[in-house]
Structure 1
């Protein structure tokens, strides 16, 4: 009976595997299509884009490197583009570094220590994840005005330094580490700072890597909050700067798409290098103990 049950269940599992594979293959193609279409479009002149849109074909006669040559030519538009690129890099690097450190130490305190109202405090942190950013945008903007941080990198960076989702992820990851490590370190004479930095932090490298990539993607692609805070064109980030290339006549679509494709490069490189840490970090953070 057991043998018959196993044999009858095998075709069902195969059908499920085929259907699942087919579903995720179609989903992957849907996700990849806009990137591939944009990549092809970045090699076409603006007249072709206006006439044919994001056509998926490999007509070599209409493709060239003129758009990328224009970006690297050193003209006024090229200088503005790389200024925006530099601004995005600065904001992303500083934001990710500070966010990871602050959220790690918050999660460390919530995980490794026992104190009154700890669970209530963590519940409040989780509750903030349910509030849409658009609701918080106005009071946050008023605070930025009150602290005179309008048109500064600090005004862009500061509002995301203590992300609830990042704290939650770190807490879940640290919950899976044995607390005996802390007791052993205290017996050996380590203070609390050395325990958190020298012992626990190295064990949390997969969590740092996976959350670092996700935070970097969010900061690099952010447009709504930087658009509210940054007023001077010399401080625009790349998404805002590229948006200024649009005109009522659409005569900058070719440079816009080429700039967008080149703007993907930093995140793509980081992802290709550290993608295995995303799986390791997510898997370890999802299982407690």
Structure 2
């Protein structure tokens, strides 16, 4: 038994060391990016490179908001994030309807929703663009946010989770005179916190990183998002690596922070939704 215990401890220690080394190696580019964002342009290309800035400066971040339009890009991105969460609520309602309501053609409609998951988004961009163009919504914020309000994968996850909620609980609330909206907001949503957490995180990441669709639908630079602004930054200031690193850090750091704090909810949400 002692030999088995020592072997088990050795294996755990070895795995821990390997994970730490791997984590350090993976984090080096991110650390260098963040460090370079606080360096003057001349220091970024120093050989050997410095991890800690020798001449610490916030000039790069100031330039992003004063000389460039990153304040506008940030505003547009936050608008997309807010409306994406509104769409998340609609997806939750749809998933609840598929899980707990009986209506004619329910299974066929749900299978149709699942079928749309198999179609690459690039295939539907042209038809969606043509529809929005006929409605006069191209080059508008409404045209950017509307296609993202309904997401088949989100509806599927909510439906899978809500099938596990006892129907007797809902029926008891109805017998007590509770309306359907009251049941959803006061009974279903508190029970479905894990799936709301994981979908909220994934929705935020997708909306924060939105790039291709805003680039296609918008011609006005005043409607561009942070991702589009970062690509413009790389083109206009190709030789100013410090400014590019500041823009990249401004994009990446919020995602890293949110994922670091809430990654356990992603695993829990997928597990409880029947993915694993």
**Which TM class, normalised by the smaller chain length?**
0.7 to 0.9
Indicate which of 63, 70, 80 corresponds to 1:70.
63
Deviation (angstroms), 1:23: 6.6
Equivalence for 2:223? 235
Partner Cα separation in structure 2 for residue 125 and residue 10 of structure 1:
53
RMSD: 3.1
| Matched residue SS, 1:159 | helix
Q: Is the 8 A contact 1:245 1:252 kept in 2?
A: no
Partner Cα separation in structure 2 for residue 13 and residue 165 of structure 1:
41
Partner Cα separation in structure 2 for residue 258 and residue 31 of structure 1:
19
Deviation (angstroms), 1:102: 1.0
Structure 2, unmatched stretches of 5+, are: none
Deviations 1:89-146 (A, max 9, x none): 1111122x22211101110110001233322222221222121111111111111211
Partner Cα separation in structure 2 for residue 211 and residue 151 of structure 1:
28
Partner Cα separation in structure 2 for residue 276 and residue 100 of structure 1:
20
Q: Do the aligned partners of residues 20 and 109 (structure 1) sit closer, same or farther apart at CA in structure 2, a change above 3 Å counting?
A: farther
1:81 maps onto 2:76 in alignment? no
Partner Cα separation in structure 1 for residue 219 and residue 98 of structure 2:
38
| Matched residue SS, 1:246 | helix
1:254 maps onto 2:242 in alignment? yes
- Describe how 1:37-56 pairs up with structure 2 within 5 A: 37-49=32-44
| Matched residue SS, 1:244 | helix
Deviation (angstroms), 1:170: 0.7
Equivalence for 1:201? 189
Equivalence for 2:271? 283
Structure 1, unmatched stretches of 5+, are: none
Equivalence for 2:151? 163
| Matched residue SS, 1:245 | helix
Equivalence for 2:141? 153
| Matched residue SS, 1:119 | helix
Q: Is the 8 A contact 2:60 2:243 kept in 1?
A: yes
Equivalence for 1:223? 211
Partner Cα separation in structure 1 for residue 105 and residue 194 of structure 2:
29
Q: Do the aligned partners of residues 82 and 248 (structure 1) sit closer, same or farther apart at CA in structure 2, a change above 3 Å counting?
A: closer
Partner Cα separation in structure 2 for residue 125 and residue 70 of structure 1:
45
Equivalent pairs counted in the alignment come to 276
Give the TM-score normalised by the residue count of structure 1.
0.81
